[in-house]
Amino acid sequence: MPQDPQDPQDPPQTHPQTPDHDHDLDALVVGTGFAGIYALHALAQDGLRVQAIDRARDVGGTWYRNRYPGALSDTWSYLYRYSFDAELLRDYPAASRYSTQPEVLEYLRHVVARYDLRRHMRFETVMEGAAWDETSKKWRVRCRDISKTAEGKEEGQYTYTVRYLVTALGLLHEPVIPDIPGLKEGVFQGEVVHTAAWDPQTSLAGKRVGVIGVGSSGVQVVTAIARTVASLHVFIRRPQYSVPANDRPLTPTERAAINAAYPALWADVRASHLGMGFAESSRKFLAVSPADRERILETLWREGNGLQLMFGGFSDLTTDAAANAAVCRFLRRKIAAVVADPRTARVLTPQEPYARRPLSDAGYYAQFNRAHVHAVDVRTHPITAVEAQGLRTADGTLYELDTLVLATGFDALDGSYARVHIQGRDADDLHARWRRTGSACYLGCAVAGFPNLLLVSGPMAAFANVPPLTETNVEFLRDLIRAAEATTRRTGGAPCEIEATPAAERAWTAHCEATARKTLFAQAPSWMFGANVPGKRPASRLYFGGLGPFRAKLAEVQARGWVGFKEPLGTAGVLRAHSHL
Ligand code: NA7
């Protein structure tokens, strides 16, 4: 299965203008998705000698690797972008309500070109490991240049020596390959492709296709390909609720209104919980009459977007089990109204609470009314093997396929660190430590024992719209670096290190867990809690308190002299969970 398939549309490879042997820098950014691009830009603006590397052949991160048909962001297009450049916000196209994967990738390439960032970037470069050198107070980052592998030449190995290591590895990066006998052994004679490592050359038209998984990726790919394939079998273990996205072009009048409102829109986004740009309701579900609840839910269904349905009509759907159950009944009625065959509808209808990452679709349920599209219940009859001709299920049926699509998700958040070996003080390995003791992380950006390692949206960052979350995180770590540099200049002694205290890291991680436990999300096993990866510790990897409160915490940490970071940078105290300035 290809990890990073080549795309003829990838731009020609460039390398940083620094000589090859000059790998002694102020900072290295690992990853060139939304987070890495902005981190590189912010640090370069500050005059740091910085480069960014990426395993892929181009920028984009998630939006480069997830090039499957139907991939779409479910945030309003005009808010699924950076806010730091007012002119770009205003002038860059927002053709429709949502952005497709090619549009997001094009946007990111445009930003990179606009700020001439490619000259600081090196692609097809894998960070294999990094080790903190206590003597020099620098990270030694071992890298492998994989660009020559395709030509059969020897891969290059080299080391960056940097003061700051900024990991922008992405929240959803590492694909999960299910443990189905025969899959990894490669016995299937057809093609296997994972949505998170999609080969753009893959053609599904006229093929007998099987899709495993019906999270966001599965729902999107199924909806996009159903019309053109010869047959489609969708293997469904735990169906999820999906709400129409209701995509449509934005009119010039709407675009003009958005442009005029941008400052206020971003202020609302930054103060809100989700940062999605819709008004989040403060109305409790059971405080509203049954007739009004139905009317509100109908309006939300028609207006579209799963996140908006979950948070835009009522404030307590993710905390009040009775309210949630009532909305589940509403959503099940909607599925029954669309899907003609009751047996198929049963396979597609969830019985669990509406408490996973909400999905949005472009007509998912209706695809199952096509005679050649089948919902296969693999909860009752699990998949037992991948065979030469296709998939075998426990009832003995063999589903013959030409192409098998794995829409089986990600080893999310801390999972992005599984393939890199980052050794901090005492040679402790970051991912090994997280597996041993849980994914503790202070404010999603710093880990005790790992000085000057700055994570962008690492574990325990807020669950929110990615671009404003990314900007929040990057600006915080940029300010940390500025403070560390200023402290070094002021003391005139050893370089000031940025390092979370164990107590602050523990307190923030416990606060994240306690916040998550108050929500129904904690009861529905999903990637957000590590439940989709066998052997992973079941715990929250996100802060469910909201982007606004998260930003307030970061502001408080800064205002209180970097509380929770070690001296001499910080005051080494512990940020109280409910403290206010
Ligand atoms: P998700 O949401 O983790 O979904 C993965 C899907 O794959 C889910 O339906 C799983 O079923 C299914 N799956 C995984 N392994 C198997 C096996 N062995 N048999 C049957 N089904 C299986 O990943 P996505 O990529 O869709 O979305 C992740 C996030 O990306 C999304 O929330 C957005 O934020 C963007 P299960 O539910 O475990 O029964």
Which residues belong to CATH 3.50.50.60 in the chain? 21-174+412-497, 177-240+356-408
In this structure, which residue's CA is closest to atom 6 in ligand 1? Answer: 213
Distance (angstroms) between ligand 1 centre and the Cα of 84 equals 33
At 210, the amino acid letter reads G
61 C-beta closer than 6 A to ligand 1: no
In this structure, which residue's CA is closest to atom 22 in ligand 1? Answer: 213
The string of pLDDT tens digits covering residues 115-145 is: 999 999 999 999 999 999 999 999 999 999 9
Closest ligand 1 atom to Cα of 382? 19
72 C-beta closer than 6 A to ligand 1: no
The string of pLDDT tens digits covering residues 253-286 is: 999 999 999 999 999 999 999 999 999 999 999 9
In this structure, which residue's CA is closest to atom 12 in ligand 1? Answer: 213
In this structure, which residue's CA is closest to atom 33 in ligand 1? Answer: 216
Q: Which residues contact 211 (CB under 8 A, 6 or more apart)?
A: 218, 221, 222, 232, 233, 234, 235, 405, 407
Closest ligand 1 atom to Cα of 409? 23
Distance (angstroms) between ligand 1 centre and the Cα of 216 equals 8
The string of pLDDT tens digits covering residues 399-429 is: 999 999 999 999 999 999 999 999 999 889 9
pLDDT at 574: 66
At 260, the amino acid letter reads A
Distance, C-alpha 34 to centroid of its chain: 10
The string of pLDDT tens digits covering residues 50-87 is: 999 999 999 999 999 999 999 999 999 999 999 999 99
Q: Is the CATH number 3.30.70.270 carried by domain 21-174+412-497?
A: no
Distance (angstroms) between ligand 1 centre and the Cα of 33 equals 22
| Tokens (6 digits) for 246 | 């209701």
Domain 177-240+356-408: CATH superfamily, name plus number = FAD/NAD(P)-binding domain (3.50.50.60)
Angle, vertex CA 568, rays to CA 567 and CA 569, nearest 5: 90
DSSP conformational letter for 522: G
User: How distant, in Å, are the alpha carbons of 31, 195, 422 from that of 2?
Assistant: 19, 11, 25
Closest ligand 1 atom to Cα of 215? 26
Question: What's the whole-number mean pLDDT along residues 388-393?
Answer: 98
In this structure, which residue's CA is closest to atom 35 in ligand 1? Answer: 216
Ligand 1 test: best mutation among 75, 217, 469, most atoms within 8 Å of CB?
Answer: 217
Place of tokens 């994240």: 512
213 C-beta closer than 6 A to ligand 1: yes
d(CA 442, CA 109): 31
- Whether pLDDT at 4 is above 80: no
Q: Which residues contact 529 (CB under 8 A, 6 or more apart)?
A: 516, 521, 522, 538, 539, 540, 541
d(CA 135, CA 141): 15
The string of pLDDT tens digits covering residues 426-475 is: 889 999 999 999 999 999 999 999 999 999 999 999 999 999 999 999 99
Closest ligand 1 atom to Cα of 378? 20
222 C-beta closer than 6 A to ligand 1: no
Q: Which residue from 111, 104, 89 is spatially nearest to 261, judged by alpha carbons? A: 89
- Whether pLDDT at 19 is above 80: no
In this structure, which residue's CA is closest to atom 2 in ligand 1? Answer: 215
Q: If you average pLDDT over every residue of the chain, what do you get?
A: 94
pLDDT at 147: 85
Percent of the chain residues past pLDDT 90, beyond the cut? 90
> How many CA atoms are closer than 13 Å to the CA of 532, on its beta-carbon side?
26
Closest ligand 1 atom to Cα of 179? 18
Distance (angstroms) between ligand 1 centre and the Cα of 367 equals 19
> Residue 322's pLDDT band (boundaries 50, 70, 90)?
very high
pLDDT at 33: 98
* Of the listed ranges 9-23, 99-113, 270-284, 392-406, the one predicted with least confidence: 9-23
238 C-beta closer than 6 A to ligand 1: yes
> Residue 494's pLDDT band (boundaries 50, 70, 90)?
confident
357 C-beta closer than 6 A to ligand 1: yes
178 C-beta closer than 6 A to ligand 1: yes
409 C-beta closer than 6 A to ligand 1: yes
Distance (angstroms) between ligand 1 centre and the Cα of 58 equals 26
At 560, the amino acid letter reads R
- Whether pLDDT at 579 is above 60: no
The string of pLDDT tens digits covering residues 173-225 is: 999 999 999 999 999 999 999 999 999 999 999 999 999 999 999 999 999 99
- Whether pLDDT at 17 is above 90: no
d(CA 563, CA 391): 55
237 C-beta closer than 6 A to ligand 1: yes
Is 222 strand, coil or helix? helix
Q: Is the distance from CB of 392 to CB of 385 less than 8 angstroms?
A: yes
